[in-house]
Amino acid sequence: LRDNRIELVRASWHELSISVSDVSLSDEGQYTCSLFTMPVKTSKAFLTVLGVPEKPQITGFTSPVMEGERMQLTCKTSGSKPAADIRWFKNDKEVKDVKYLKEEDANRKTFTVSSTLDFLADRSDDGAVVSCRVDHESLNSTPQIAMQVLEIHYTPLVKIISSNSWPEEGQSIILTCESKGKPVPEPVLWTKDGGELPDPERMVVNGRVLSISFLNKTDNGTYRCEAKNPIGRNSTEYVLIVHDVFNTLLPTTVIPSLTTATVTTTVALTTSTTTSATAINTRDPNALAGQTGPDHALIGGIVAVVVFVTLCSIILLGRYLARHKGTYLTNEAKGAEDAPDADTAIINAEGSQVNAEEKKEYFI
């Protein structure tokens, strides 16, 4: 061996060692060690040199890319022996659906490997990091990586957020128009029912925010928020319905009497929101804590029962008085119950009227 890259490390009767620096593919081959004895003794070994792949490069990316366009990114590396392995990742998540191509270099010893990633650009890919990783046994478990940050342009995405889910007359409401796009959308445009806002004094636009104060029924309608950028425009709608002020009924008052009549007074109070809250929180200072309104059905039932019992008592008393008087008149003729006729009863009556004292009647 006659090469300046080969040095003698150790020489003795028992061992001969050499070192090779700056190894190249040409150093691959069979090496022979000979011991010049009679006969000559030899030993052979085959040296395999690995081709280290070059750092990969990603091609095919043009910035920016419009949403919906097809992207084809190619990752290529050469000089690997044996052929290197290429893997694609998007935000650290491996992409499996790729094309793989292996070609032999001109020296017929190493390989050039390429892989193509094909997909449709989506707004969710904006800002995503696409990486191409080359794995090879010569890299000692430290892969070579090439990265590309995606820039996707897309039309605005619009959404309206309301500050009041149940707007009432006299209240206010704030409508916020959220618009996301790339490039950043221009200031949004607010319209009502296809035209301009009818009352600029109450309907104030500040950037993406629409504020409406002192709501009334004329504010009912469809409010549209439209955003646009150089890519396109988009819009969304919000239907505003202004509700009536909450109505409050005062508790029913019942006036008891000795008759079956029940007098009920109901007062309906319709005011603004502040007045309604005051009416609801008002309490009778003379009322007991926790006391609730009377039960009309219960009171009516009690009165009906009282009237019915009274009528039954009057009827029974009348019948008793009538029967008492008849019994008194019958006892007046005591002893004549068995007489066949009226004349005999008079004759047989105890204490004849001829000789008896005059009787008197008293009605109590």
pLDDT tens figures, 4-26:
899 999 988 888 899 999 998 98
* Domain final residue, candidates 150, 176, 199: 150
DSSP 217: G
Q: Is the pLDDT of residue 76 over 60?
A: yes
pLDDT at 274: 34
> Of 29-43, 112-126, 265-279, 287-301, which gets the smallest average pLDDT?
265-279
Same domain, 135 and 206: no
Q: What is the mean pLDDT of the chain?
A: 81
* Domain final residue, candidates 220, 240, 260: 240
Whether the CB-CB separation of 42 and 16 falls below 8 Å is answered with: no
3-state secondary structure of 149: strand
Q: Is the pLDDT of residue 182 over 60?
A: yes
Same domain, 142 and 70: yes
41-65 mean pLDDT: 92
Contacts of 38 (CB under 8 A, 6+ apart): none
* Domain final residue, candidates 150, 180, 215: 150
CA distance 20 to 49: 12
How many independent structural domains does the chain possess?
Answer: 3
Instruction: Tally Cβ neighbours within 10 Å of residue 74.
Output: 18
Same domain, 82 and 40: no
CA distance 265 to 282: 18
Whether the CB-CB separation of 95 and 117 falls below 8 Å is answered with: yes
pLDDT at 209: 95
Same domain, 29 and 81: no
Closest CA to 92 of 42, 147, 28: 147
Whether the CB-CB separation of 153 and 65 falls below 8 Å is answered with: yes
The residue type at 111: F
- CATH code at 185? 2.60.40.10
248-273 mean pLDDT: 39
| Per-residue pLDDT tens digits for 320-355 | 887 655 544 445 555 556 656 666 656 665 544 444
Same domain, 70 and 41: no
pLDDT at 232: 92
Q: Note down the domain range covering 224.
A: 155-240
